[in-house]
Amino acid sequence: MATDSLILFIDMNSFFASCEQQHNYYLRNRPVAVCVYPGKYGCVIAPSIEAKKFGVKTGMRLNEAVKLCPDLIPLETNPARYREIHIGVMKILRSYCEEVYPKSIDEAIVDLSTYRHVYKDPLKLAKEIKQRIRKEVGDYLKCSIGLAPNAFLAKLATDLQKPDGLVTIFPENIDEVLSKLQLTDLPGIANGLSAQLISAGIKTPLELRYASPDKLRAALKSVVGIYWHQRLNFKEADLDFHEYKTMQAMRQVSAAQRQNLQTMENLMVSLCMMLEKRMVGQGVYCKDVSVFINYEENKIWSDKIHCGTPLQDGTKILDSIKSRMKKFRETHHSDSLINQHITAMGITVSRFVPADSLVLDLFEDNVKQDKLRQTVYNLKDKFGYDKLLKAIELNDDNIMSDVIGFGSVKDMYDKSNPTVV
């Protein structure tokens, strides 16, 4: 049991609505509903704490919501405002530790495991974070914080007290906490999964905690059963960013390949596509791209690119590298960096952002493209990688399959890491 790990989960309460109330003083303490559009049948996406008391819920149509709460104030979404507040909150969290992983616009996981000696009293730290958010980001903003040895239990802890909660789940109180809950109170257990568990004789969260991993695997007919055992027994089943702090794709260039400039251009393309595939598989975008090219006589060119917008698309990674190469050539009046002296090249991507934290891009067009990319990869997995290639990869697909052999295949095919929802 990893007794040393400590996760702080933070969930901003009624986030969009609270941002609006933060911005406009006269909306405070009043029932507010943030909607996609404020027409009669506009869909409520975020009721304020006050509106929730009247039974207004996410997903309702405005006309239904107003029946429950006649004084409801509908507002249109203001993504830029929410993004700005999100950034302010993340900045506070990152002032305490590096391991901050936004899970969505209003939730983040803070892995304090290696900071246990720095912050000896995590409850005090949690209170300080709440206070700083009110003071430095907005005095109307509330959050629920959960503390536990793993991400799942920390998330569950935030669900238990809203708004403005602070709940811990540790070995000494977990049985008491679970004894008050139903299976569907656990994040990630909806009716379907609950029914599967009940028919296997596991009727409560406590029974789930004490069921053996084998029994759970059999009950759910999947390795997911084992994850449920781990989650309720203080092991980490959800936080896997550690493994993916960087992803690298590199290639040695043979003497024969070196003779053909197009082959080397293609190699660079295939490295970018390789990384794109791995990032899609992990559901992450990168904020940093590093590139190196080795030449004969131990010469090397390398550069690091900080991406303004997190990247996942291989063609965009390639474009950013190419524009750096062009800049280098222009400032140094040098020949092309892609030349017949190359012996190896590699690209590393890092500083990952989970795809779900880019949720606000729902309001922008590029999500459509990202969904398309995900679909393309699903198809590739289904029909085999070589059957469906982007036009840019079509120059030489032999190189493509060649490169795959050099990368880590684990992250390409490991689809079995569910995240906390």
Catalytic residues: 107
Least distance (Å) from Mg ion to the CB of residue 178?
Answer: 22
Q: What are 281's two structure tokens?
A: 């598989």
Which CA distances in Å does 65 have to 26, 27, 48, 76?
21, 17, 12, 15
* Identity of the residue, 9 or 15, whose beta carbon is nearer to Mg ion in the bound complex: 15
The CB-nearest residue to Mg ion is 106
* Identity of the residue, 7 or 337, whose beta carbon is nearer to Mg ion in the bound complex: 7
Distance CA 278, CA 377 (A): 10
Range 130-140 burial, b when 16+ CB lie within 10 A, else e: bebbeeebbeb
Element (H, E) at 75: strand 73-76
**Residue in the block written with tokens 């896997």:** 240
Least distance (Å) from Mg ion to the CB of residue 52?
Answer: 11
Q: Using CA atoms in the order 327, 275, 237, 307, what is the torsion angle rounded to 10 degrees?
A: 20
Q: How far is CA 212 from the centre of its chain?
A: 30
Least distance (Å) from Mg ion to the CB of residue 71?
Answer: 23
* Identity of the residue, 107 or 361, whose beta carbon is nearer to Mg ion in the bound complex: 107
**Residue in the block written with tokens 């524009």:** 323
Q: Contact residues for Mg ion (CB under 5 A)?
A: 11, 15, 106
* Identity of the residue, 48 or 294, whose beta carbon is nearer to Mg ion in the bound complex: 48
Least distance (Å) from Mg ion to the CB of residue 408?
Answer: 35
Beta pairing partners, 76? 35
Q: Using CA atoms in the order 353, 356, 358, 361, what is the torsion angle rounded to 10 degrees?
A: 150
* Identity of the residue, 134 or 316, whose beta carbon is nearer to Mg ion in the bound complex: 134
Looking at residue 42, the DSSP 8-state letter turns out to be P
Q: Using CA atoms in the order 97, 292, 349, 110, what is the torsion angle rounded to 10 degrees?
A: -10
Q: What are 90's two structure tokens?
A: 């993340």
Least distance (Å) from Mg ion to the CB of residue 103?
Answer: 10
